[in-house]
Structure 1
Amino acid sequence: MKAALLAAAAFVAQPILALAPERPVVPAPTPLGTGAPAGDPAAACAALKAQDFSTLPDAPSLVVNATVRPATAEQPALCLVNGRVAPTIGFRMWLPLAVWNGKFAQTGCGGRCGDILDDGCQIVVARGYACLAADMGHKGTFYDDLWAIDNVQGDIDFGFRSTHVAAIAGKALTEAFYGKRPRFSYYFGASTGGRQGLVAAQRFPEDYDGIIAGEPAMGAPGTIRPETGPALRASVAALNPGGKPIMTQAEVLMVHAAAVGACDMDDNARDGFISDPRACGFKPMQLLCEAGKTPDCLTAEQVAALDRVYANGAMPGSERGWIGAYIGPDGTPGRYLWRMKNPYKYPYAWIFHDATNPDLRAFKAQGGKLILYQGWADEATFPGNPAAYYETVERLMGGRAATQDFFRLFMIPGQSHIPQVGGGAETVDYLSYLEAWVERGEAPDVVRAEKMRTLARFAGPVTYAAYLTPENVAFSRPVYPYPVQARYSGKGDVNDAANWRSAIPNR
């Protein structure tokens, strides 16, 4: 009872926003009509290879091949295009043959990229989008940095150029195939893809009408070197001194249970998630062994390591995501140990500074809309950074109303960097909310977030339609634009978004 009263005292009592809506209805794509390729669509697809795109301003391009792919159970018939923007940016495009919705979408990459991550495009073409994905200018594995050695052009492409010039090429190909420019252009991506979205809004404000930037790989705004990598490497090093983990999976889960137990009621519901872990008073010292080591306490070395991890940016409640990432489930190091072992350090770190520029005046002036989202339990891209970025933008743009007119941040309790790990309601149809904002002026005052029982295929901000069924929803939550938070009303099913209200934290 005392914990609940303390949590309630941290909020303004009156709700200020409406209840969470039902999940947006995705409109069916319409037939092409006057935008259809003239004559035989297959011939129009093949003809793209013969067209000269080498004179595109800032984006001289080449179509390597263009082939028709028959319709499947998930996708319409497509013209599948592989191409390159000079000198080395590879891209792939999906052009629906008969159900184009008149819009262009571009999806981002992840990690260090080096390949074309196409799940996002394969999802949105079913909604009628022409869609493009690119490799960010080099070939490599998801995590290697070797491509960047003595490769200034590659660093520039990865840092900011590839997303911009791929947008130019994608819209030109769309126009060449359908005979008209897209009515609206959207970008969506998460992690590195989220960083790409922020850079696009900051550097190239005319590229997209709307941007979804999810869990961006960005550092701390306002610091001398605002990069995400050093803090993450330091966290991995703290839990793996000498390359060996100092905590077991069971001990990490014990810490997680203690953190959630201390702060779970901050949203008036004992639901296993912390709504704003920045206000959580949990300290690893509370688990220090008083005598000998036992399974339910920690050594002084472990406590010190945990203190460093939290100080680096990981939040209380994110601990389940550390398993596999920071430490292995079987006592081996986690998959991020490569960040410690790799002796090569990225030589042109200045490219990472761009994602923290708060000056979005040009993006707002041309009518752009930006949705930024972040999980509070993210173990890879630390959640304090997007929150600090949003607050910085508010100060520069002249306050909350002037900022939320075009830019809104949604912080998701319990969401880790990989869906299904953290356990939060991490599935949101961000694209439908963005379309409503851009095309009809309907700002997202609240979004409906859902936890899916099964989510085997996902691509950051978009989800395969097969998983978006009422039967697959384990629970739902409303999520309000930051800094507003959701609180359980105290009545009705805690797993139903309809029984939650909004409140402003007193921070």
Structure 2
Amino acid sequence: MKRRSGPAPEFRKAVVLAALSLVACVHAFAQRAPSLPLHCTDLAGAVLPPASIGLPTNGALVQTAAMIPATATGNLNGDFCRLTGVIRAQSAGTPDIRFEVNLPSRWNGRALQFGGGGYSGVVVTGTGPMPFSPDRAPLARGYATFGDDSGHNGTSSEANFGLLEEAVTNFGYAHLKKAHDVALALIERGYGRPPEHMYFAGGSTGGREGYTAIQRYPDDYDGVIANSPALNFSGVRLIGVVVGQHEYRTPGGYLPPRLLEQVYERVMQVCDTLDGAADAIISDVQSCRAKEPEIIESLRCPARASPDEPQRADDDCLTPPQLATLESLDDGLRLPYALAWNADSYLGYNVFEGTRFTSMLGLAHSAQRLPQLAFVPNGYLYAQGDAYLRYFITHDPTFDSTNFDVMHPGRYRERLFALSATIGAMNPDVSRYIARGGKLITLQGLADEVISPNQTIAYYQALVDRYGEARVDSFMRLYMVPGYQHGNGVFIPSVDLLGALDDWVTNGNAPETLFVTDIAQATNGRTRPLCRYPAFPRYLGKGNLNHATSFTCAMP
């Protein structure tokens, strides 16, 4: 029988080459593909020496390492490796920095550091969703995530750690670098390679931390989301003290919530429709500010027949001391001395442009000053300012803030300056971050009652003055949201900022006008364009008021 001849040598060679090529492709894909962190539980007890962390510490320890299955109760993030541990402090009595790092089984090659809030004090786990984001949590989207407690234990309102210098330094900036370096080392151990991109995201204190990251550690981050940033930290605390002194030291300076609400309603009557829409949102803040004298005059009590004539409890107008309280917020703080980076002011709030100071984070709800100030009775700004003076500035827990002279702090001036350098994040030099291609997105409410939106705008304008608009546009986007306060408001935005940031960093697609969904309970589901500052949403004059397509971004 005649034997059948085999494949031609050329064909056999082609098959071999194809097979080798396929093996190479599979190998390359395996190298790039997301993979389960190897031996998660083996990371328990891992020790990182001080030399592996970019700032002085006594090293770090992973205390627990556990695989969290996708089927675990309440877990919406898929399978991930949860690592918790401590970064050891150097000074006796200073708390360690507690941290958490999460390594998803299907990793997208990126890492995200979460910022804190208030005075922090609790570990930011990194397992939850991004603020404002309608999408899944970053961990569920494949990001390796991490956070920490900023170097002390407590609640976001407790400031007593201000008595400990290393804890203050950690809170101001050092915890960011220490947690970053520890997380980076653990990510490399878990996956066998570093992340392709490192991001940071936070709001309020976390927003300040975001700006701190790009000012102090520009080489560590490719993109930052820094919302409602507490930039001039000493400034916002000092203006809180001034407002509290108007309320409680000046006779008649306290405004009950009903009068604060009356101010808000009057502003709405005058300014709501300046953007063309009667929607309980003041979008054209600049036009509203032009009407401020008219608004104030309409709220002022008529002159009394006698200076000694008392104010009636049912009066629906504002006396001179009450107006002075509001104007101290509206005018802001002008200091006769400079803090770090020549910051000598804290710009005022949009008191007569739609900010509602009856909120939980607003002004005092009680006419009596409590021995230990509390947020709702005595006002968030004053309570936080009082604690800052007692623990951070004077180191005297019994100090009486009503007698502190903000304009002439005397022997405390040097301390104010030092703290503003440690915590302030007002350094305008971000040239290194710009040069290496870092990106920054900031979102803030125009009706913010905690962090003045005008202070954030002023820092942005300082960058424009320093670098020019084109260069700032190359790395930064600022979005000011009408009607949004500090976590609440008549409009609460929901938008995927992390997706926009990642697309900008990875693909070079700079975000322009975004579209946001309102998640405020009363108006849930309506949409608006999110305009780049200084533009604002203006109604086109026709179409559904609840649809973003009925609005355009207009310049003031």
TM-score, structure 1 normalization: 0.81
Aligned residue pairs: how many?
446
Match of 1:450 in 2: 517
Secondary structure of 1:255's aligned partner: helix
Match of 1:314 in 2: 349
**Which of 490, 502, 516 is matched with 1:423 structurally?**
490
Q: 1:366 to 1:243 in 2, by over 3 A?
A: farther
Shift of 1:386: 0.8
Q: 1:67 to 1:192 in 2, by over 3 A?
A: same
Secondary structure of 1:126's aligned partner: coil
Distance (whole Å) between structure 1 residues aligned to residue 75 and residue 36 of structure 2? 23
Match of 2:436 in 1: 366
Match of 1:233 in 2: 241
Distance (whole Å) between structure 1 residues aligned to residue 280 and residue 431 of structure 2? 39
Shift of 1:453: 4.5
Shift of 1:305: 1.8
**Which of 164, 173, 186 is matched with 2:199 structurally?**
186
Distance (whole Å) between structure 1 residues aligned to residue 124 and residue 246 of structure 2? 32
Further displaced range: 429-438 or 55-64: 55-64
CA contact (8 A) 2:239 2:385 kept: no
1:310 aligned partner, one-letter code? D
| Percentage identity across paired residues of the two chains | 30
Match of 1:131 in 2: 145
**Which of 164, 168, 180 is matched with 2:177 structurally?**
164
Secondary structure of 1:344's aligned partner: helix
Match of 2:80 in 1: 78
Structure 2 gaps, min length 5: 1-28, 90-95, 130-136, 305-310, 333-347, 368-376, 394-414
Please state if 1:302 is matched with 2:297: no
CA contact (8 A) 2:504 2:511 kept: yes
Shift of 1:33: 6.6
Match of 2:16 in 1: none
CA contact (8 A) 2:535 2:554 kept: yes
Please state if 1:339 is matched with 2:390: no
Summarize deviations over 1:247-274 as a string: whole Å, max 9, x none: 2222211100111222223322222122
CA contact (8 A) 2:528 2:551 kept: yes
Shift of 1:404: 0.7
**Which of 486, 500, 503 is matched with 2:551 structurally?**
500
1:203 aligned partner, one-letter code? R
Match of 1:265 in 2: 273
Shift of 1:437: 0.8
Match of 2:299 in 1: 287
Distance (whole Å) between structure 2 residues aligned to residue 355 and residue 335 of structure 1? 21
**Which of 53, 56, 61 is matched with 2:52 structurally?**
56
Shift of 1:174: 0.9
Q: CA RMSD, aligned part only?
A: 2.7
CA contact (8 A) 2:243 2:328 kept: yes
Please state if 1:36 is matched with 2:35: yes
Secondary structure of 1:163's aligned partner: helix
Summarize deviations over 1:368-403 as a string: whole Å, max 9, x none: 000112111111111111100001101111x21211
Distance (whole Å) between structure 1 residues aligned to residue 527 and residue 112 of structure 2? 27
Q: 1:384 to 1:335 in 2, by over 3 A?
A: closer
Structure with larger RCO (C-alpha < 8 A, sep 6+): 1
Distance (whole Å) between structure 2 residues aligned to residue 37 and residue 395 of structure 1? 47
Distance (whole Å) between structure 2 residues aligned to residue 481 and residue 340 of structure 1? 32
Distance (whole Å) between structure 2 residues aligned to residue 340 and residue 203 of structure 1? 26
**Which of 86, 102, 106 is matched with 1:99 structurally?**
106
Q: Which runs of 4+ in 1 moved over 6 A?
A: 30-33, 242-245
**Which of 494, 498, 502 is matched with 1:435 structurally?**
502
Shift of 1:138: 1.7
Please state if 1:212 is matched with 2:225: yes
Match of 1:47 in 2: 42
Distance (whole Å) between structure 2 residues aligned to residue 372 and residue 379 of structure 1? 17
Shift of 1:340: 5.6
**Which of 395, 417, 420 is matched with 1:352 structurally?**
420
Distance (whole Å) between structure 2 residues aligned to residue 414 and residue 355 of structure 1? 26
Further displaced range: 308-317 or 377-386: 308-317
TM-score, structure 2 normalization: 0.74
CA contact (8 A) 1:253 1:319 kept: no
Distance (whole Å) between structure 2 residues aligned to residue 91 and residue 75 of structure 1? 19
Further displaced range: 331-340 or 236-245: 236-245
